[in-house]
C-alpha cells in the first residue's frame, strides 16, 4: 500500500480515518484527516468504503491534489444483493454495507502496520471490536450536533423506560443539561421503533461509550449547553469516561471548482454584495413535484437573486439523491415550471444536482442560505456569517432548524413540521426569502451569524479552543510513538 513507505520513513503518528459512505460524513471526516496532516503533524490513511459510493464521493476522495502525508485506500467492493432491496431504509442500507465492508478491516489495519489510532464516524462502530483485538485505540468523530449526541445518548434509557412510540409522548423529551426535544422534531430514525433504521441507530448509539475519545464537530459559542452537558453533567460523565473534545467547525476550507461550479462563481461575481439566496438541500435532499413547483414560484415571486441546486423531484422520498448524488443526469427544464429558467434568467441561476457550496457561502454576494439544515450545511453557513432559511427534510434536521430559529436566532423556518406533511405555498416562500434578503429581521440574523463566524474563526485559530483540543490529542498520539 502507498502509505507503507511514507509511514516507515517518518516519525509521525499514523492515524486511520474511517467514514461510512455519504457526503455528510465523508466530507467532515476527510477534512478532519487533512487537518491532522496539515496542522498536527500526523500521517493519515483515509479508508474509503467504495460500495454504493456516490460520484461526488469518488470525485472528492480521488482528487489529485491531496496533501503529502494523506492517502486514500479503498475497501474492496462487497455484494449486498440479497441483503438490501430498493425498499430498504437509508440507515439500514448504509449499516449493512458498512458491516460487510468492515469484514476486510482487520487485514487492512495489519497491512498498514497497526496505526496509532483509528477515528470512525457513528455508523462504523463494528470497528471497535476489530481495533480492540489489535490493541488500537478507537476514537469517534460525531458529525452531527452535540445536542443530537446528548439526546441520542439518552436513547438506551428511553428505550427501556418508554412503552409505545416516542412521537406519541405528551411532552417534549427532557435531555440532561440541554433544551428538551419536541416530539415533532424527533429524528426520523427514532420515529418508528419497529423499523430496522431504529434498531441500527440504537445499536450504533449504545456503542459510543466504547470510544477512547469523542470529537465533537462544534464550538462552544454555538452549542454552549450541549457541550457543557456532555462534559460536565453527571449523566454523561458516568457514561462517557473517555475525553470529549469540541474541535469544530470542521468544514471544507476550499474546494476544487470545475465545470458548472466555475459558472456559478463567475455568475456570483456579477451580483451585488449580500443579494443572492443560495438554495441547496444537502447531498441527498429532494422535493416532491408539487413542492418543487411551489418553491420555483416562491423564488420567482420574491424577485430576489438566487442560485438553486435542483434535483429531479421525488414524491416518495425526501433523501432520494443520497446514494447517487453528483452522478444524476437531470434536465431541469423537464420538471421546473414552463419557461421558469427564461423568466428568471439574469436574476437566478439553476444548477443541476451539485454546486460548490462552501465557495458559494464564502462569496460576498451570498445573502442567505435556504438549507435543509444538515449539520455540515449549518456549520458551513454560520462559519461564513450567512443566515439560514430552514427547510428541514430528513434525519435530525428538524431539531437543528428549531435550535437555529428559536435559540440561536440565525434562521427562519418555512417548512419541516413532520406531522403536517404539507406543501409549503409559494407566498410563504416568497415572504421568507424577502424577509431574509431585504427585511430588518434578516439583517439582525445576519449580524448574529457574523458574530458566530468571528467566534468560529477564533476557536479554530492557533490558540483557539478547537485547535488546542485537537492539538492535545495529536500530542498524545505522538507521545505513544516515542514509547
Query: Any contact of residue 358 with ligand UDP (CB under 6 A)?
Result: yes
Residue 35 preceded by cis peptide, ω within 30: no
User: What's phi and psi for 117, nearest 5 deg?
Assistant: -160, 155
**Shortest Å, Cβ 354 to ligand UDP:** 4
Number of residues that bind ligand UDP (CB under 6 A): 17
Site string for ligand UDP, 253-272 (x = CB under 6 A): --------------------
**Shortest Å, Cβ 104 to ligand UDP:** 25
DSSP string, 121-183: -GGGTTHHHHHHHTT--EEEEE-S-HHHHHHHHTHHHHHHH--S-GGG-SSPBP-TTS--B-G
Query: Any contact of residue 60 with ligand UDP (CB under 6 A)?
Result: no
| Residue-wise burial string across 266-301, b where 16 or more C-beta atoms lie within 10 A, e elsewhere | ebbeebeeebbbbbbbbbbbbbbeebbbbbbbbbbe
Which among 195, 191, 251 has a CA at the least distance from the CA of 222? 251
**Residue of the chain from 49, 117, 307, 309 that contacts ligand UDP (CB under 6 A):** 309
**Residue of the chain from 250, 280, 368, 411 that contacts ligand UDP (CB under 6 A):** 280
Cβ-closest position to ligand UDP: 24
Q: Which of residues 431-470 bind ligand UDP (CB under 6 A)?
A: none
Decide whether 299 or 473 has the Cβ nearer to ligand UDP.
299
Query: Alpha helix locations (H) across 50-89?
Result: 55-61
Query: Any contact of residue 122 with ligand UDP (CB under 6 A)?
Result: no
**Residue of the chain from 17, 18, 27, 310 that contacts ligand UDP (CB under 6 A):** 27
* Binding region for ligand UDP (CB under 6 A) out of 177-185, 278-286, 338-346, 432-440: 278-286
Residue 474 near residue 40 (C-beta atoms within 8 A): yes
* Binding region for ligand UDP (CB under 6 A) out of 163-171, 263-271, 329-337, 373-381: 373-381
Query: Any contact of residue 404 with ligand UDP (CB under 6 A)?
Result: no
Cα-Cα-Cα-Cα torsion 60, 66, 69, 73, nearest 10 degrees, comes to 40
Query: Any contact of residue 284 with ligand UDP (CB under 6 A)?
Result: yes
For Cα atoms 368, 265, 144, give the angle at the middle one, nearest 5 degrees.
Answer: 50
**Residue of the chain from 32, 354, 391, 477 that contacts ligand UDP (CB under 6 A):** 354
Decide whether 29 or 367 has the Cβ nearer to ligand UDP.
29
Cell representation of residue 46 = 483515509
Decide whether 202 or 383 has the Cβ nearer to ligand UDP.
383
Can you tell me the distance from the alpha carbon of 381 to that of 357, in angstroms, rounded to the nearest whole number? 9
Can you tell me the distance from the alpha carbon of 220 to that of 295, in angstroms, rounded to the nearest whole number? 35
Active-site residue set = 25, 121
DSSP assigned state of 317: -
Enumerate binding residues for ligand UDP (CB under 6 A): 23-24, 27, 280, 282-284, 309, 354-355, 357-358, 374-377, 380
Amino acid at each position: 500500500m502507498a502509505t507503507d513507505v511514507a509511514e516507515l520513513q517518518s516519525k509521525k503518528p499514523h492515524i486511520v480515518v474511517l467514514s461510512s459512505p455519504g457526503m455528510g460524513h465523508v466530507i467532515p471526516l476527510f477534512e478532519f484527516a487533512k487537518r491532522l496532516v496539515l496542522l498536527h503533524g500526523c500521517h493519515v490513511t483515509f479508508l474509503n468504503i467504495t460500495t454504493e459510493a456516490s460520484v461526488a464521493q469518488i470525485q472528492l476522495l480521488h482528487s489529485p491534489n491531496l496533501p503529502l502525508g494523506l492517502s486514500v485506500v479503498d475497501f474492496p467492493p462487497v455484494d449486498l444483493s440479497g441483503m438490501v432491496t430498493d425498499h430498504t431504509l437509508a440507515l439500514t442500507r448504509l449499516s449493512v454495507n458498512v458491516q460487510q465492508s468492515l469484514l476486510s478491516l482487520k487485514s487492512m489495519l495489519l497491512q498498514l502496520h497497526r496505526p496509532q489510532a483509528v477515528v470512525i464516524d457513528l455508523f462504523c462502530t463494528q470497528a471497535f471490536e476489530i481495533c480492540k483485538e489489535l490493541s488500537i485505540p478507537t476514537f469517534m468523530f460525531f458529525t452531527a450536533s452535540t445536542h443530537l449526541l446528548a439526546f441520542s445518548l439518552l436513547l438506551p434509557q428511553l428505550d427501556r423506560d418508554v412503552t409505545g412510540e416516542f412521537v406519541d409522548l405528551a411532552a417534549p423529551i427532557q435531555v440532561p443539561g440541554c433544551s428538551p426535544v419536541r416530539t415533532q422534531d424527533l429524528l426520523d430514525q427514532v420515529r418508528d421503533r419497529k423499523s430496522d433504521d431504529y434498531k441500527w441507530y440504537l445499536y450504533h448509539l449504545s456503542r459510543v461509550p466504547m470510544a477512547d475519545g469523542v470529537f465533537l464537530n462544534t464550538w462552544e459559542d454555538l452549542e454552549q449547553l450541549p457541550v457543557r452537558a456532555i462534559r460536565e453533567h453527571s449523566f454523561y460523565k458516568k457514561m462517557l469516561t473517555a475525553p470529549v473534545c469540541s474541535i469544530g467547525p470542521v468544514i471544507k476550507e476550499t474546494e476544487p471548482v470545475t465545470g458548472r461550479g466555475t459558472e456559478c462563481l463567475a455568475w456570483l461575481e456579477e451580483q451585488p454584495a449580500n443579494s443572492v439566496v443560495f438554495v441547496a438541500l444537502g447531498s441527498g435532499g429532494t422535493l416532491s413535484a408539487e413542492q418543487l413547483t411551489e418553491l420555483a414560484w416562491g423564488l420567482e415571486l420574491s424577485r430576489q437573486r438566487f442560485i438553486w441546486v435542483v434535483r429531479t423531484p421525488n414524491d416518495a422520498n425526501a433523501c432520494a439523491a443520497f446514494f447517487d448524488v453528483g452522478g444524476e443526469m437531470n434536465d431541469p427544464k423537464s420538471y421546473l415550471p414552463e419557461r421558469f429558467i427564461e423568466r428568471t434568467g439574469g436574476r437566478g441561476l439553476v444548477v443541476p444536482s451539485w454546486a460548490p457550496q462552501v465557495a458559494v457561502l464564502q462569496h460576498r454576494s451570498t445573502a442567505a442560505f435556504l438549507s435543509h439544515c444538515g449539520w455540515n450545511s449549518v456549520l458551513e453557513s454560520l462559519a461564513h456569517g450567512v443566515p439560514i432559511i430552514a427547510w428541514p427534510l430528513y434525519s435530525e434536521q428538524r431539531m437543528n432548524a428549531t435550535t437555529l430559529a428559536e435559540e440561536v436566532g440565525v434562521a427562519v423556518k418555512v417548512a419541516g413540521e413532520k406531522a403536517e406533511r404539507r406543501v409549503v405555498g409559494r407566498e410563504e416562500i416568497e415572504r421568507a426569502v424577502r424577509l431574509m434578503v431585504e427585511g430588518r429581521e434578516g439583517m439582525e440574523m445576519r449580524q448574529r451569524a457574523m458574530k458566530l463566524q468571528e467566534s468560529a474563526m477564533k476557536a479554530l485559530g492557533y490558540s483557539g479552543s478547537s485547535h488546542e483540543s485537537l492539538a492535545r490529542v495529536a500530542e498524545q498520539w505522538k507521545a505513544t510513538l516515542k514509547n
